[in-house]
Structure 1
Amino acid sequence: MIISDSVLDALLKARPQARPQMYFKSSMTALSHAMEDQVLAGDDHPLVIASFQRERFYRQEAHRYLRIAERTDQVYVLAAPETDFANQSEHYETIAFKPTDGLSKEWHLVVLGKQYASCLICKERELPDLRTDTPELHVDQARRFEGIWTFDRSVVCKSAELLLHRIAYYRPELAAKINPVLERIETEPQSGINQVDPAPFAERLVTYLQAGQYKLAKAYRAIAEKERKERLVNSITAAVRRSLDPNEILKIAAQELGQVLGAGRCLIYRCKAADTIATLEHEFLNAVCAAPIPSLAGRPWTLQGNPLFEQVVQEQEPVYIQDTQADDRLSVIKDGELTIQALAQDWRIHSWLMVPVLHQNQLLGMVELHFCDPTPHELDRHELEMIEAIATQIGVALIQAEAFENLEDLNQQLEALDRTRSNLIAITGHELRTPLSTIQVCLESLASEPDMSPDLRQVMLNSALTDGERMRKLIQDFLTLSRLESGRIEWKVEPLPLWECVDLALSSLQARRSANPIPQIITQLSTELPLVQVDGEWLVEVLSKLLDNACKFTDAKGRITIQAQRLGTDKLEVTVSDTGRGIEANRLETVFDRFYQEEGALRRTTGGTGLGLAICRQIITNWGGQIWAESGGKDCGSQFHFTVPIVPLEEKQSMSTRRKRNT
């Protein structure tokens, strides 16, 4: 059977003159300890009854009741069991009641001796669910109780009587021990002077008051730390919203973080896990330090061989060294270089914190805090949490900045595509419509004028054929560029002499321009040049287009020169220069764009589709080479350079061996 009656309600019914008051848990604890201290300080053998609601509350005070049991054999402890609490009679009597019993809502302590008596009879009030974001403000401290704390002997005796009857109900085997106590309570006087020493109560209350003040101050500090963290995070967030420039964001973050934490030096830099060196661009130096702190701004910061950086990369967690001169990890010498410990001493780093800036487990940068005071810095948990929060914000900012840069690149590509579309329309409209019109006129004339003279008929046919070839060349260039950009070319790479490809390109040029005078072409190729490792057909295509381009913009009295020289151990640089019209400095890169025309698509004195140089770049790039233009400006001629790979030394030796065998 479960007893749901309240001891407090029964006491108030029996002693209506008693007036209940409200108590917080901290006050209840202080009063209980004061009453227990009174027992421990005296030489009496009082009756002590304590009801703890739950076993976990009892466990916190079990050691005290072992000491109290040494003073008296009349000690009774009640609690609802949660683990191993049970009815026992070892050091003192323990009484286990059901968690649904009325005692589980109450907290009682009764001390009844010959010279003094006191009791604390309280019932917990139900409160709504308490939640708090500050971990120091424990919910347990907000619990409230309604009850009676008194030295009135009659009230104490009645409380003892009610609890002893409850104990006898739960443990009837204790009747022989309880009944004499009940008889003594009923027969002894219920009034008289209660000789209670107030000192333990005053001391205990002062102690708990001080402890409460300490907890309150600690809570205020936690709130201040939280406010500081939120302010710093907000400042970084505001910087992100104001600008998508990563340099400005990192600069603000370094200043704010260094000032708030009082570090001697704060560094924030971008780096990746595989980097060996980082450039320190953003630094905060504390100006209020006793001695000036040397600046690291603009210096290369070694990452390879730094055990802190390596640990951060491996664990992706912050690493903190409280005393750099006492940490063995920093004293390891690698390849005879200066130890990190010596480096820290040179730059006055006494305590060192490294926090990674991560995004999806990828290292984007690093936040470093150097504490330069002579005494090691005690890093607080709140400080570390704040720095990690800032590092997260910095990571978001860097990703946003990178996304914005990519967006700008995409916009530029879209603009380039739009220009390409416009040029394509212009080219199509001009380069296709004009020759088609000529062909149509010529064919109509031939069809409608049967009496046309043979000479005029031949002129008409030649015009139609010329414009037909012009259209064929335009379509061929379209298809060639499309195949190159889509990667559908099957390269037939083989060792070839450069002069052979140059001769083929010159022969093709002379055949195409036999009817028109061309500039003087000078070939300056050394016989010692190594073989090139290319597709010969496509190299002839590149040379032909570069020579065509040079002839197009060079007067017949000008000069075109073909040169080549070895570039390093694996490349050959070929140069096609002319004395023609030249290129302005701001167009040296643009000339390689698709459909680029110096005079515009519809207003130019030279023919062509504007695809030739774009095709050359695609071919050379597919071989791992580069192509670029140089010019002194207008009417100063131009030089087109490109690089091609040469035959590796091993393959040369293999070719030489094969020749000897064949011989």
Structure 2
Amino acid sequence: MSISFKKSYRFAVKSAFYITLFSTLLIAGLTYWFYELNYKFCIIFASGVYFFSFFVLQYRVERFIYRRVKKIYDDVSLLDSTTLRSQPVTTDMATLMNEVQKFAKDKKIEIETLKIREEYRREFLGNVSHELKTPLFTVQGYLLTLLDGAMNDKTIRKKYLQRAEKGVERLIYIVKDLDMITKLETGDLNLEFTEFNIVDVIQNVLDLLEMRADQKNIILMFDRKYTKPVKVFADKERIQQVVTNLVENSIKYGKENGTTEISIEDLVNNKVIIRVTDNGEGIQKQFISRLFERFFRVDKSGARSEGGSGLGLAIVKHIIEAHDERIYVESKIGVGSEFSFTLEKTK
């Protein structure tokens, strides 16, 4: 690829002037000392030296700066030489310094971003390994026990097979969630937008999870009675999954004898916001920004005892973003948490 030069003549002009001034004064002094001073000769000499110096300096400095700076880039491997090559090369040192600093800053940010991603990748792989090996080892343990002789006892055989089945179901649950979140991230999961009543969807979820909430004496309720339908335009099945995951989360991390309240409020620009609020223990501030990461758990030990794939909130975030909507989190230790998301309201 040919090199593009950004012409800056300041250095060459000044340098050529100084060289010409010195050379002219020198030759004038010598001619005056040894011969008779010839003004015409001095002018012609000065002009020739000036133009020769200017062109030599301009060309040589451009080549010098480009080659040296490019070599530095290549040696330290901090900046891609192709990035430099695509930019015009300048002999203005202030401009060049600003460009180098900008390149270095951009690459530093890029390197830091890659380090963060690498750290998340290692943590993600560790979490995947942990989530999968727990049910795998459980199933393996029950099957090995049966193969070692327990299979002859009908009572033990049935109990162990049922427990092994639960382990397999958990594996299937995790794999399905991983498959869904992968499709959501790559855009392979198509959304079917329809008009529906969000109140009915929420009520179905509350009815479905009522028995699970009763185990912890948690009350599931609306903030008020919605006598009129609230029509939204979205993928009904996916939005039901969002509400289910959020309510399940509030039950899982809610306190005994607590409440989970759902409200629907109108916003501007034909939007509604659905809030899922609980009065549980709350989430520490430093963890809120990571809540939607895959397999991230605030309480690693307690959360796994409650079951789940660890992908619920990540799926929620991707579904809402696939609708071009927003999801919000507010939480305070000892007070509770509120998850809310927006949807388009039909007229």
Fold conserved between structures, TM > 0.5: yes
Task: Please give the alpha-carbon distance, in whole angstroms, between the structure 1 residues aligned to 2:249 and 2:106.
Answer: 39
CA contact (8 A) 2:142 2:160 kept: no
Task: Please give the alpha-carbon distance, in whole angstroms, between the structure 1 residues aligned to 2:305 and 2:107.
Answer: 44
Question: Which deviations, in whole Å up to 9, do the C-alpha atoms of 1:354-381 show, x marking residues without a partner?
Answer: xxxx99589xxxxxxxxxxxxxxxxxxx
Q: Secondary structure at the match of 2:192?
A: coil
**Number of residues of Structure 1 aligned to a counterpart in Structure 2:** 303
CA contact (8 A) 2:330 2:337 kept: yes
Amino acid at match of 2:220: I
CA deviation after TM superposition for structure 1 residue 480, in Å = 2.0
Partner of 2:219: 520
Partner of 2:39: 207
CA contact (8 A) 1:576 1:639 kept: yes
Q: Are residues 1:643 and 2:347 paired?
A: no
CA deviation after TM superposition for structure 1 residue 627, in Å = 1.7
Aligned identity (percent) is: 21
Task: Please give the alpha-carbon distance, in whole angstroms, between the structure 1 residues aligned to 2:256 and 2:120.
Answer: 35
Q: Which runs of 4+ in 1 moved over 6 A?
A: 134-138, 442-446
Question: Which deviations, in whole Å up to 9, do the C-alpha atoms of 1:97-144 show, x marking residues without a partner?
Answer: xxxxxxxxxxxxxxxxxxxxxxxxxxxxxxxxxxxxx88899xxxxxx
List aligned pairs for 1:423-572, cutoff 5 A.
Answer: 423-438=127-142, 441=145, 447-450=151-154, 452=155, 463-510=163-210, 513=212, 516-524=215-223, 526-527=226-227, 530-572=230-272
CA deviation after TM superposition for structure 1 residue 608, in Å = 2.1
CA contact (8 A) 2:142 2:161 kept: no
Task: Please give the alpha-carbon distance, in whole angstroms, between the structure 2 residues aligned to 1:412 and 1:469.
Answer: 33
Q: Secondary structure at the match of 1:507?
A: helix
Amino acid at match of 2:208: S
TM-score for the superposition, normalised by structure 1: 0.39
List aligned pairs for 1:301-316, cutoff 5 A.
Answer: none
Amino acid at match of 2:109: E
CA deviation after TM superposition for structure 1 residue 395, in Å = 3.9
Change (3 A) 1:561 1:515: closer
CA deviation after TM superposition for structure 1 residue 413, in Å = 1.5
CA deviation after TM superposition for structure 1 residue 410, in Å = 2.4
Q: Secondary structure at the match of 2:241?
A: helix
Question: Which deviations, in whole Å up to 9, do the C-alpha atoms of 1:553-581 show, x marking residues without a partner?
Answer: 11231111111212221322111111112
Amino acid at match of 1:206: N
CA contact (8 A) 1:442 1:464 kept: no
CA contact (8 A) 2:222 2:262 kept: yes
Change (3 A) 1:478 1:207: closer
Change (3 A) 1:217 1:471: closer
Task: Please give the alpha-carbon distance, in whole angstroms, between the structure 1 residues aligned to 2:85 and 2:280.
Answer: 54
Task: Please give the alpha-carbon distance, in whole angstroms, between the structure 2 residues aligned to 1:606 and 1:216.
Answer: 88
CA RMSD of aligned residues (A): 4.3
Task: Please give the alpha-carbon distance, in whole angstroms, between the structure 2 residues aligned to 1:642 and 1:475.
Answer: 26
Change (3 A) 1:445 1:215: same
CA contact (8 A) 1:520 1:556 kept: no
Change (3 A) 1:507 1:476: farther
Change (3 A) 1:600 1:215: same
CA deviation after TM superposition for structure 1 residue 214, in Å = 4.4
2:115 to 411, 415, 436: 411
CA deviation after TM superposition for structure 1 residue 593, in Å = 0.6
CA deviation after TM superposition for structure 1 residue 464, in Å = 4.5
Amino acid at match of 1:211: I
Partner of 1:67: none
Q: Are residues 1:586 and 2:290 paired?
A: no
Amino acid at match of 2:40: Y
TM-score for the superposition, normalised by structure 2: 0.71
Task: Please give the alpha-carbon distance, in whole angstroms, between the structure 1 residues aligned to 2:302 and 2:332.
Answer: 27
Change (3 A) 1:618 1:445: farther
| Higher radius of gyration, 1 or 2 | 1
Partner of 1:99: none
CA deviation after TM superposition for structure 1 residue 519, in Å = 0.8
Amino acid at match of 2:218: P
Task: Please give the alpha-carbon distance, in whole angstroms, between the structure 2 residues aligned to 1:443 and 1:533.
Answer: 54
Q: Secondary structure at the match of 1:607?
A: coil
Between Structure 1 and Structure 2, which shows a larger proportion of strand residues? Answer: 1
Between Structure 1 and Structure 2, which shows a larger proportion of helix residues? Answer: 2
Partner of 1:125: none
Unaligned runs of at least 5 residues, structure 1: 1-133, 139-200, 242-357, 363-384, 653-663
Change (3 A) 1:570 1:514: closer
Change (3 A) 1:434 1:460: closer
Task: Please give the alpha-carbon distance, in whole angstroms, between the structure 1 residues aligned to 2:271 and 2:140.
Answer: 45
Unaligned runs of at least 5 residues, structure 2: 1-14, 21-34, 74-83
Change (3 A) 1:206 1:471: closer
CA contact (8 A) 1:435 1:467 kept: yes
